[in-house]
């Protein structure tokens, strides 16, 4: 006996495998929602990161998104061309700039974020709230280690 699943329940996946599979599922939700809103998943992720705080520098953004800076330059270029974000020159340090959401980008960010959250919550609709909470809390602990 190596699993806590009852007879008749799905064959338990193993911790790492479950995380990997869940990660793929989340990726696909992200991809589906992005496609419906006519942005790429990468651009959607950029918008979501920009939702917190009012303007993020390119260096911070590249760390947050785990992208090399030239990759980020291109991503921001394309998002800017679509009118989703804008670069604002920093007066204090004239090398730097902050990237901000435009009103259009902000609206899109809210819609995409809301849709993703609602699809993931829907997935857990049949789950006892207690289990849902426990998963969220346990994952939160794991995530805190890698900050």
Residues contributing to the site for a second copy (CB under 8 A): 3-5, 9-23, 25-28, 30-31, 66, 116-117, 120-121, 123-124, 126-127, 131-146
Min dist CB 39 to DNA, Å, is 7
| Between 12 and 74, CB nearer to DNA | 74
DSSP secondary-structure letter at 11?
P
- The residues binding DNA (CB under 7 A) are 40-43, 57-60, 66-78, 87, 90, 92-98
Please identify which residue in the block is written with the tokens 């289990």: 131
Query: DSSP states of 42-73 as a string?
Result: HHHHHHHHHHSSS-EEHHHHHHHTT--HHHHH
Nearest distance from C-beta of residue 47 to a second copy, angstroms: 13
Residue 144 interacting entry, from a second copy, DNA, none, C-beta within 5 to 8 Å by type: a second copy
Contacts for 58 with CB less than 8 Å, ≥ 6 apart: 69, 72, 73, 76, 96, 97, 99
The nearest distance, CB 146 to a second copy, in angstroms, is 6
Cα 103 to the chain's mean position, in Å?
20
């Amino acid at each position: 006996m190596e699993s806590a699943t009852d007879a008749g329940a799905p064959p338990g996946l193993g911790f790492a495998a479950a995380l990997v599979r869940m990660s793929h599922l989340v990726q696909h939700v992200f991809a589906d929602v992005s496609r419906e809103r006519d942005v790429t998943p990468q651009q959607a992720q950029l918008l979501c990161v920009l939702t917190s705080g009012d303007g993020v520098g390119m260096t911070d953004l590249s760390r947050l998104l785990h992208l090399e800076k030239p990759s980020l330059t291109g991503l921001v270029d394309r998002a800017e061309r679509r009118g989703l974000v804008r670069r604002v020159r920093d007066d204090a340090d004239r090398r730097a700039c902050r990237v901000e959401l435009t009103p259009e980008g902000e609206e899109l960010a809210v819609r995409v974020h809301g849709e993703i959250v609602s699809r993931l919550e829907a997935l857990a609709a049949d789950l006892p709230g207690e289990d849902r909470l426990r998963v969220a809390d346990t994952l939160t602990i794991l995530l805190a280690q890698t900050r």
